[in-house]
Amino acid sequence: MIVLSGPAGSGKDTVVQHLIDEHPEIEVSVSLTSRDKRPGEREGVNYYYVSTEEFQRRIAAGEVLEYTNYCGNYYGTPKSEIDRRIEQGIDVVLIIEVEGAANIKRLYPDSKLVFVRPPSFEELERRLRGRKTESEEKIKERLERALEEMEYACDYDFVIINDKVEECAQELYQIIREPK
């Protein structure tokens, strides 16, 4: 199991999509979220979209392995997404927040924690603004949160910089393939 974290705008999803395109034997765990779907996103591909009440019900039922409330929305990993792949011996990538990463490492000590950093804070801001999906208030909130999250990079097994997606995906693949 590979746990990938990094601030919003660091390119985690883009890097993982490139990795999966090149190495389809590796799978990505689809997270659960209470946030609204963005244009172009698809149910069961990008996230499983549920209401806040449904998310909380799943937490109470023990169906969510880890979760966080990030900028007013819940994000988490459905336990079934991980259990199925582990039973089948499939390499699985989880894209999760820093709080959840520590919990996964505690529950699955053999997991590899990888932190994705942008090449600079200015580039991170450019990427977030370039999405044109959030208000100025949300962008500022995400930038403040990014500064907090980057302090956790030292707690990860690996830190990679996403300057060029292809190179970052290749570096991630090498991490996945190297023995623990």
pTM value is: 0.82
State pLDDT tens for residues 81-97: 898 998 999 999 999 88
Say what the pLDDT of residue 90 is: 93
- pLDDT category at 107 given cuts 50, 70, 90 is confident
Q: Which of 45, 13, 66, 41 is nearest to 172 (CA)?
A: 13
User: 3-class DSSP state for residue 47?
Assistant: strand
Torsion sign (Cα): 99, 102, 106, 112: positive
CATH superfamily of 2-177: P-loop containing nucleotide triphosphate hydrolases (3.40.50.300)
- pLDDT category at 99 given cuts 50, 70, 90 is confident
Q: Which of 172, 166, 162, 148 is nearest to 9 (CA)?
A: 162
Mean pLDDT of the chain: 91
pLDDT of 180 over the 70 cut: no
Domain coordinates in residue numbering, the chain: 2-177
State pLDDT tens for residues 15-55: 999 999 999 999 999 999 999 998 899 999 889 999 999 99
